[in-house]
Amino acid sequence: MKKVYILLADGFECVEALSPIDVMHRAGVELKRVAVGRNLDVTSSHGLMTLRCDMLLGDSLLEDGDALILPGGNPGYINLRNSEAVCRVVRHYWGSGRLVAAICGAPTVLAAAGVAHGHRVTCHTSVINDMGDYLYEGGRVVEQDNLITAAGAGISIDFALAIAARLVGAETLSRVRQGMEV
Amino acid sequence: MKKVYILLADGFECVEALSPIDVMHRAGVELKRVAVGRNLDVTSSHGLMTLRCDMLLGDSLLEDGDALILPGGNPGYINLRNSEAVCRVVRHYWGSGRLVAAICGAPTVLAAAGVAHGHRVTCHTSVINDMGDYLYEGGRVVEQDNLITAAGAGISIDFALAIAARLVGAETLSRVRQGMEV
């Protein structure tokens, strides 16, 4: 069974986080929620919800994961990119050829971590100027090598399905899509 | 300011609930979360998350609302349609010409409440047989009169935006869409 980690900091965008959590569950991919900070309970952007995480990030490199998911949301993505522990995990995943997936403002975490420069990306319109070292392509979802980026909250299901497509077979993916009517 | 209620029973689909919660917040529509049952904390399908509600439904008709939102999820939609209090509110909203919006398995709550018979609808493929008194049209989102139905979790953002389009002006809706990159 594949295993993925989603990094959650206060101010995460709820739909951007819940969509991959939901899709991974449907796809039979083990997903662990990792709180960036000192509390297992992390509160989403605008205080819309609080999500209980499975573990604290601490200094872990999340060594046994196949993919790392970075949701956006303001100030969630800023809290992610300001965390040296997060940047270290992103470098570790990218450097070891594992999948890194970022949506909305979270592609700027790649820049903060100093990985994947020159790669084609999309991101939220408001942070394009932070992505100067990348080839901003725009659009809903952009994939190059082991990098998946997506534009924003409205694209969350496409983002989650793109991640799932790297981790499970076509038959499973088709079953997930049918179950979600998409 | 417009006001909407979302009815949440244990087993709700998390993305189907969070998408309208998120979109209404972005659109400046007041949204109240109403727990169907005895606890303010309601747990989503497959136990993926627990959401704190604002109030219990009890015997309230949610008299001051402009719209009623019914998320799906299994067994969430079954818990909704098995609740006489829910069916009473649905009849009250429909009978007073207010917007009723249901996604996934939740269009079957309309049938249980006995409203909108003969209307064009869509719903999750798995519950089509429960919608015999309606004109099953299929597709992502179907609107007729004050009824909005949507097919499933992957359509949640479209569903939420269709609700918002009934409650706010074009300029606000455009701003919400831009913010979500959709």
The minimum CA-CA distance between A50 and chain B, rounded to whole Å, is: 8
- According to DSSP, the β-strands at B67-70 and B3-8 are parallel
Q: Is the peptide bond between B71 and the residue preceding it cis, with omega within 30 degrees of 0?
A: no
Contact (CB, 8 A) for B65 and A44: no
CA distances from B7 to A60, A125, B93, B142 (A): 39, 34, 13, 20
**Whole-model pTM over 0.95:** yes
Q: How confident is the model at residue A161 (pLDDT cuts 50, 70, 90)?
A: very high
Q: How confident is the model at residue B31 (pLDDT cuts 50, 70, 90)?
A: very high
Q: Do B182 and A154 count as a contact with CB atoms less than 8 A apart?
A: yes
Q: Among all residues of chain A, which has the CA nearest to that of B124?
A: A181
Q: How confident is the model at residue B47 (pLDDT cuts 50, 70, 90)?
A: very high
Supply the pLDDT for residue A146.
98
Q: Which has the closest alpha carbon to A120: A94, A106, A141, A103?
A: A141
In chain A, how many domains are there?
1
Evaluate whether ipTM surpasses 0.85.
Answer: yes
Averaged pLDDT, A86-99: 98
Averaged pLDDT, A134-141: 98
Average pLDDT in chain A = 98
Supply the pLDDT for residue A156.
98
How large a percentage of chain B has pLDDT more than 70? Answer: 100
- DSSP tag of B23: H
Q: Do A178 and B125 count as a contact with CB atoms less than 8 A apart?
A: yes
Q: Among all residues of chain B, which has the CA nearest to that of A122?
A: B181
Q: Show the domain range for A47.
A: 3-180
Question: What CATH number is associated with residue B120?
Answer: 3.40.50.880
Q: Does A19 touch chain B (CB under 8 A)?
A: yes
